Amino acid sequence: MPTKVIIGAQWGDEGKAKIIDILSEKADVVVRCQGGNNAGHTVAVDGDVYKFQLIPSGILYSGKKCVVGNGVVIDPEGILSEIDGLVAKHIDVSTLRISSRAHLVMPYHKALDKAKETIAAQDGKDIGTTMKGIGPCYMDKAERSGIRVCDLYHEEVFAQKVRENVKVKNAMLKYVYNQEIQFDAEEIITNYKKYAERLKQYVDDTTVTVYEAIKEGKEVLFEGAQGTLLDLDLGTYPYVTSSHPITGGACIGAGIGPTMIDECIGVMKGYITRVGKGPFPTELHDEIGDRIREEGHEFGTVTGRPRRCGWFDAVIGEFAVRTSGLTQIALNKIDVLKDLEKVKICVAYEFNGERIKYFPASLEDLELCKPVYEELEGWGDISHIRTYQELPESVKKYLTRIEELCGCKITMVGVGPNRDQNIIIE
C-alpha cells in the first residue's frame, strides 16, 4: 500500500483535514509530523463538525492508529482537552500514539509568544501568530534547552529542566519584554506531573510504530499542518511558522527516510487565503474578496480571525509542486467560487517591468510584484456534483489550466465541506 504525505500547498487552511479524513477510510495509520495546536483542522461528517488541533484527523475511523510524531510540539493541556472532547463524543482514542521525542509547549512559551507579539504590534511588526507558544517552543528545541515528552517520566530531570528554564524565561519576560507575569517552577512541575500520568498510556517510540507499519505494507498517511508559504525556510519569512510544513518536513517529523514516501499530495483551494500578516500578491480588497470570505466561511479555526482572500495564484502553486515534489493536487472549495461571471488565475508576476514566474525570496521584491491575471468563465452551484463528467465545462477548463500552470495533475476536487462532497479524478 502506498504511503502518502498530504501537505498544505498555500498559506494553510486548504482543507487538509477533509482530504485526510477521506483518505483515512482506506488507511491504517495517520501521522502528524510538525506544528502544534496552531493548526485547526476541520472535518464535516453528516452535519457534525469536528475540529482537530493536535490529534490526527484520521481518528474518526475506529481502529486507525493515530500518531503524533516527534516533530510536533505538544501542549499537554491542549491535547488532553482534545482527547476529553473526543471521548465525550464516544470516539475511540485508544489508538493514539504520542512520540516520546516530541517537545512540550510550556506555559512560558505561550507568555513569551504573547509578549513578543504585543510589543512588536506597537510598531506594526507583529507576525500575527496564533499565540499558542509555537515559535518559542521551537526556539528552545533549536537552542537545545527544550523539554521533551520522555523527560516527563524522569521526575528529577524534568524538575531540573523546568527550574532552569523558568529562571531564564522569567528574566526575559521581566527585563526584555517588561511584563509583570512570572512563573512558579514548582507549580508547573506539579501540573505537568498530572498531565504526564494521563498521557502515559499513549506515549511510545513512534518511529518504530511508523516504520513497522510501512514494512508490513500498511497504508500510512502523513498529515501536514500549516502550508508551504508558512515554511520556516521556504515561506514568506519572517511571516511564517517555526516548522516545516513542506513534504520534506514529514521525514524529519515522523523519523522516516524519503525512500519510504510514495505519493506527495498538495492540498490547495480554488482561491487562496491567509491569516495573520505578511505579503499576499493576489489579495482582494473588494466585494469579491468579501463574498469569498462569506461563502467559504473563511474565519480562522483557532483564533476566529477573518482570513484574507484572493484569486488562485499559480506562481505559488508551481512553487509548492517544485519544493514538495508533489505528485497530485487535491483542489478544494471550487464550489465557493459559484455565480461569479469571471474567475481569475494569477499566471505570473510583473516585477520591475519583467514577467517572472518564480516566487521571490525577498519580501521587498514580493511587495513590488503585480499579479498578471488570466480570466476564465465562471460557473454556478456545483455542490451536488459527484463525478468529473458532470462538472460544467468552465470548471473543467479551470482545473486544466491550474494543472498546466502548476505542472501537476489534480486528482481530487472538493465541492463542499462534507466528507462526501468530493470528486475523485481517475
Enumerate binding residues for Mg ion (CB under 5 A): 13, 40, 301
Closest listed residue to residue 345, CA positions, set 300, 412, 394, 287: 394
With beta carbons less than 8 A apart as the criterion, state whether 266 and 330 touch: yes
- Provide φ and ψ at 307, rounded to 5°: -85, 140
Q: Which is closer to ligand GDP, CB of 329 or CB of 369? A: 329
Question: Binding of ligand IMO at residue 13 (CB under 6 A)?
Answer: yes
- As a whole number of angstroms, the distance between CA 98 and CA 372 comes to 46
Site string for ligand IMO, 54-93 (x = CB under 6 A): ----------------------------------------
- As a whole number of angstroms, the distance between CA 314 and CA 347 comes to 5
Question: Got the DSSP string for 345-414?
Answer: EEEEEEETTEEE-S--S-HHHHHH-EEEEEEEE-----TT--STTTS-HHHHHHHHHHHHHHTS-EEEEE
- On the CB side of 144, CA atoms within 13 Å amount to 0
The residue type found at 10 is Q
Question: Binding of ligand GDP at residue 8 (CB under 6 A)?
Answer: yes
Chain position whose Cβ is nearest to ligand IMO = 276
Q: Which is closer to ligand GDP, CB of 81 or CB of 383? A: 383
- As a whole number of angstroms, the distance between CA 155 and CA 160 comes to 9
Q: Is 13 a catalytic residue?
A: yes
Instruction: Report, in Å, the least distance between residue 237 CB and ligand IMO.
Output: 11
Helix pair angle (107-121, 134-143), 10° resolution: 110
With beta carbons less than 8 A apart as the criterion, state whether 309 and 300 touch: no
The residue type found at 72 is V
Residue entry with cell 517520566: 153
Residue entry with cell 510583473: 350
- As a whole number of angstroms, the distance between CA 226 and CA 55 comes to 14
Q: Is 28 a catalytic residue?
A: no
Residue 275 interface partner, choices Mg ion, ligand IMO, ligand GDP, none, CB cut-off 5-8 Å depending on type: ligand IMO
Query: What is the dihedral sign for C-alpha 212, 215, 217, 220?
Result: positive
Query: Of 67, 230, 334, 345, which one interacts with ligand IMO (CB under 6 A)?
Result: 230
Site for ligand GDP in 332-361 (CB under 6 A): 332-333, 335-336
Residue 241 interface partner, choices ligand IMO, Mg ion, ligand GDP, none, CB cut-off 5-8 Å depending on type: ligand IMO
Site for ligand IMO in 99-158 (CB under 6 A): 127-130, 132, 134-135
Instruction: Report, in Å, the least distance between residue 226 CB and ligand IMO.
Output: 4
DSSP annotation of 37: T
Catalytic residue among 28, 41, 151, 313: 41
User: What nine digits make up the cell of 299?
Assistant: 474565519
Q: Which is closer to ligand IMO, CB of 242 or CB of 327? A: 242
Site for ligand GDP in 395-414 (CB under 6 A): 414
User: What nine digits make up the cell of 274?
Assistant: 491567509
Question: Binding of ligand GDP at residue 17 (CB under 6 A)?
Answer: yes
Q: Which is closer to ligand GDP, CB of 16 or CB of 32? A: 16
Instruction: Report, in Å, the least distance between residue 226 CB and ligand GDP.
Output: 8
Residues 6+ apart with CB under 8 A from 18: 42, 43, 44, 332, 414, 417, 419, 422
Question: Binding of ligand IMO at residue 241 (CB under 6 A)?
Answer: yes
DSSP-based three-state secondary structure for 236: coil
Question: Binding of ligand GDP at residue 132 (CB under 6 A)?
Answer: no
Q: Which is closer to Mg ion, CB of 336 or CB of 385? A: 336
Query: Of 3, 8, 115, 371, which one interacts with ligand IMO (CB under 6 A)?
Result: 8
Instruction: Report, in Å, the least distance between residue 303 CB and ligand IMO.
Output: 7
- As a whole number of angstroms, the distance between CA 262 and CA 308 comes to 34
Residue 417 interface partner, choices ligand GDP, Mg ion, ligand IMO, none, CB cut-off 5-8 Å depending on type: ligand GDP
Query: Of 3, 7, 16, 234, which one interacts with ligand GDP (CB under 6 A)?
Result: 16
DSSP annotation of 295: H
Q: Which is closer to ligand IMO, CB of 43 or CB of 134? A: 134
Give the residue numbers marked as catalytic.
Answer: 13, 41
| Residue ranges that bind ligand IMO, judged by CB under 6 A | 8, 12-13, 38-41, 127-130, 132, 134-135, 225-227, 230, 241-242, 275-276, 301
| Residue ranges that bind ligand GDP, judged by CB under 6 A | 8, 12-18, 40-42, 44, 296-297, 301, 332-333, 335-336, 414-417
